[in-house]
Amino acid sequence: MGERTIIPFGPQHPVLPEPLHLDLILEDEKIVGAVPSIGFIHRGLEKLVEKRDFQEMAFVIERICGICSFIHGQGYVQTIEAVMGVEIPERAKYLRSFWGELSRVHSHLLWLGLMADAFGFESLFMHCWRVREKVLDIFEETTGGRVIFSVCKVGGLWKNVDGDTLRRIGGVLKDVDKDIRPLADVFMRDYTVQKRCVGLGVLTKEEAFQLGAVGPMLRASGVAMDARKLGYAAYGNLEFEPVTENAGDCQARIAVRVREIYQALDIMRQCIEKMPGGEVATTVKGNPQGEYLSRLEQPRGEAVYYGKGNGTKYLDRFRVRTPTFANLIPLLHIIPGCDLADVPLLALTIDPCISCTER
Amino acid sequence: MAFNVIGKTVMKSLFGKPATAMYPVIKNDFYPLTRGAIELDPANCIFCNLCAKRCPTEAIEVSRPDRLWTINRTRCIVCNFCVDVCPRDCLTTVRQYTAPMTDKSAAVITVQGPAKES
Ligand code: SF4
Ligand code: SF4
């Protein structure tokens, strides 16, 4: 047995835009253990529900994260709507699914870019982000914001998108699809990518399930679990199957995300085709009383939202269980046995979002 | 496994148009919905304090006796809620973002309403 060394990884690390800290225990170059510590960017957003009324809070909850912002807002309003027994118009449901899938495309393209950057493929990184720019433009055109959208409210949406705009966006999405294909090809076939990712950080099906992995991390190990199948928003009327891969390594996680981009584009096409006309918001009367727990599929995996109202305009409690929190344990499981140089890549394959996790 | 799969894309970007806009020669156009900053039209404002009360970040302050409406642009998250709650529709969202600043006090904008007709 070689001598043991402890090397700190993060919270400031070139590969991670966010502060995740791991104490890596090494024997020579091999890692034998990892001890995480988080809590560098806690902002107390959950506590704020006791001081801001439930309508205002929708804007604040969206700011939990800059990437899955829309779905955080959606999770919050969906929970409150369930507590209050509000049924939102059909068009609002479709638009929520539409924007949710647009968020997925934007998040996965961002992640693919970061991943390319992590294994040193800078030009691939830039090309991924070039395509992502088109998606952000669609967001800005339809919601008014590029990162934070502020369109969800309890009872529906603040903004409607007219049919002509949607059809034109359908055309832009076809271009996005065309732009992604050559890049996806690089991720799936290129020698340099394969050499770096195949067989790295394998998580078996049983391990993934027992350790509570969620999202692409879970599906890359062959478990077909996707919270969208619960049929919230308009997902009950849309056709899709969870994307799965069986290898459970870094390459499989890349493949799942690449295929999910195509799936999301297809779901958006269905949304545009099937979207009924009409209003996008109903009037909401009274205050939330009671509790509810809802599950939504974020780009990073399943997120759980819990809300409890007491009949006043302030909530008693709101809680978010974010996908990164669930994926940290599988991450700690795949790190031991790897080389030190693989840790940045492995940390990135769970698509860590620390600002979500700490709120 | 294949080598240099990105080659075609590289050639395309080598001879194609640049992906970024030639700023500042070509200025970026905002979309009609883009939320840049909140502006007040003081002629219609009744200084009812509703916008200040509903603002999630407490960015607005209204003083009814002095007929003053103040916004702190670095606190404001441009969520548009005040525009929706204003009973007189005197708030608008303009498309231009607030310019960067080195002095935070420049972010506090005060608008004086017209004197009350008696
Ligand atoms: S809500 Fe409108 S009318 Fe009332 S103080 Fe604010 S800007 Fe003026
Ligand atoms: S846009 Fe939102 S944050 Fe800004 S002043 Fe209005 S309510 Fe407050």
Quickly list H helices, A190-280: 191-197, 205-210, 216-219, 250-274
Q: Let me know if residue B10 belongs to a domain.
A: no
Cβ-proximal residues to A271 (8 Å cutoff; 6+ apart), any chain: A94, A95, A97, A98, A101, A234, A238
pLDDT digits (tens, 9 = 90+) for A134-169: 899 899 889 888 888 888 888 888 888 888 888 889
Q: Is residue B24 part of a domain?
A: no
How many domains is chain A built from? 1
Residue B117 lies in a domain: no
Of residues A150, A190, A191, nearest to B79 (C-beta): A150
Q: Does residue A45 fall inside a structural domain?
A: yes
Rounded to whole angstroms, the Cα distance separating A174 from A199 reads 33
What per-residue confidence (pLDDT) applies to A104? 92
**How many domains are contained in chain B?**
1
Q: Does A217 fall in a domain?
A: yes
In a domain, B16, yes or no: no
Mean pLDDT estimate for chain A: 87
Q: What is the CATH number of the domain that holds B84?
A: 3.30.70.3270
Q: Which ligand is nearest to the CA of B51?
A: 1
- The string of pLDDT tens digits covering residues A29-64 is 888 888 888 888 888 888 888 888 888 888 888 888
Give a yes or no: residue A133 inside a domain: yes
Taking the centre of ligand 1 as the mean of its atom positions, its distance from the CA of residue B45, in whole angstroms, is: 5
Residue B112 CA, ligand 1 centroid: distance in Å: 13
Range of the domain at A260: 41-358
**Are the C-beta atoms of B52 and B61 separated by less than 8 Å?**
yes
What residue of A is the nearest CA neighbor of B94? A144
Is B20 within a domain?
Answer: no
Segments forming the whole domain that contains residue B69: 30-112
Between chain A and chain B, the number of residue pairs with CB atoms below 8 A apart is 71
Residue corresponding to tokens 């080195």: B102
B51 ligand 1 Cβ < 6 A: yes
Number of C-beta neighbours around residue A8 at 10 A: 12
Chain A residue numbers with beta carbons less than 8 Å from the beta carbon of B56 are 52, 56-57, 59-60
Nearest to A140 among B9, B34, B84 (CB): B34
CATH code, domain with A66: 1.10.645.10
Report pLDDT digits (tens) over B69-105. Answer: 888 888 888 888 888 888 888 888 888 888 888 888 8
Q: Are the CB atoms for A124 and A116 separated by under 8 Å? A: yes
* pLDDT tens digit sequence for A201-255: 888 888 888 988 898 989 998 888 888 888 888 888 888 888 888 888 888 999 9
CA distance A243 to A271: 19
Closest CA in chain A for residue B8? A182
- Taking contacts as CB-CB distances below 8 angstroms, the residues of chain A near B4 are 190
Answer yes or no: is A13 within a domain: no
B114: closest CA of chain A, how far (Å): 30
B13/B19 Cα distance (integer angstroms) = 8
Could you identify the atom of ligand 1 that is nearest to the CA of residue B40? 7
Note the pLDDT of residue A103. 92
Report if residue B75 sits inside a domain.
yes
In this structure, the strands spanning A289-298 and A301-310 are antiparallel
Domain membership of residue B61 (yes or no) is yes
A347, two tokens: 């940390």
In this structure, the number of other CB atoms found within 10 A of the CB of residue A191 comes to 12
Nearest CA to ligand 1 atom 5: B47
Task: Determine, for residues A190 and B13 on separate chains, whether the beta-carbon distance falls below 8 Å.
Answer: no
pLDDT exceeds cutoff 70 at A115:
yes
